[in-house]
Amino acid sequence: MDSTCSILIPSNVKIGYGRSVIAEVAEGIKLGEGTHYLLARNGRGKTTLLRSLARVLKLQAGEFTVSGRVQFVPEDIEYNSHLPARVILGSLVERERLEECYRFADRIELDLKKPYRSLSTGNKRKISWLMAEFSCDPDSGDVLLLDEPFTGVDSYVREAFMEYWESCDSGVCRLVSCHPDFDSMSIRSAVLISEGRITAMDSSEGYRWGDLKGGLL
């Protein structure tokens, strides 16, 4: 496991709000560099787990260890409504990676000139994703906690995201909350929340979403 970016969650960790426990880790979870999908039905604790790992929420019990610079990208993040995407990204992404960021924005059909208020939900999500990904420094290690980055984007953009993750997994540990919308989606590493239990699964051959979703309660 790459020590520069990792998430270690022991079996005594419990997540929730106030005094209410939503879920607890059944066995110790170790996530290293690469992309890990956080899967669960609605209301089972996906966002709660991400917020807890970002230390926005206090754990109900236990403690975890995150190695690397943490970026939490919530689903409801907003930017100045009058600024175009080019200006927003230009103020958040390091100059050395800005042109690369703009080129990928063009690939996923984000209009950099359009003001934020005029963008669709999917295009707003693209800005947050670009900001997070192109702010990473693989030499120092980053942990990205992405809450529903696929919201509002079509299959072409989703596949572009996933292709990027496959090609740029060195020095980055991603935990991605999502609801896959096609059964053939291949998942090599997953964190599952079901019936109040948080578990991890990984396979070099990969799982299919169609096989995993039936076990989520």
Rounded Cα gap, residues 157 and 154, in angstroms: 6
pLDDT tens digits, 181-213? 778 888 999 999 999 999 999 887 778 888 888
pTM of the model: 0.93
Residue 34 burial (C-beta neighbours within 10 Å; 0-12, 13-18, 19+):
middle
CA distances from 142 to 7, 35, 42, 205, 210 (A): 11, 12, 27, 25, 30
208: phi then psi, degrees, rounded to nearest 5: -105, 140
Average pLDDT, the chain: 93
pLDDT tens digits, 122-179? 999 999 999 999 999 878 899 999 999 999 999 999 999 999 999 998 999 999 999 8
pLDDT of residue 4: 84
- The total number of residues shown for the chain amounts to 217
Q: Which of 1, 36, 40 is nearest to 198 (CA)?
A: 40
pLDDT tens digits, 119-135? 999 999 999 999 999 99
| Extended strands (E) in 53-196 | 65-67, 69-73, 142-147, 172-177, 186-194
State the pLDDT confidence band at 3, using cuts at 50, 70 and 90: low
Strand partners, 71: 144
* Residue 100, SS3 per DSSP: helix
116: phi then psi, degrees, rounded to nearest 5: -55, -40
CA distances from 54 to 48, 74, 79, 87, 183 (A): 10, 10, 20, 27, 30
Full set of structural domains in the chain with CATH:
6-215 (3.40.50.300)
pLDDT tens digits, 81-102? 999 999 999 999 999 999 999 9
Give the mean model confidence (pLDDT) for residues 106-113.
Answer: 97
**DSSP 3-state percent helix, strand, coil across the chain (nearest 5):** 30, 30, 40
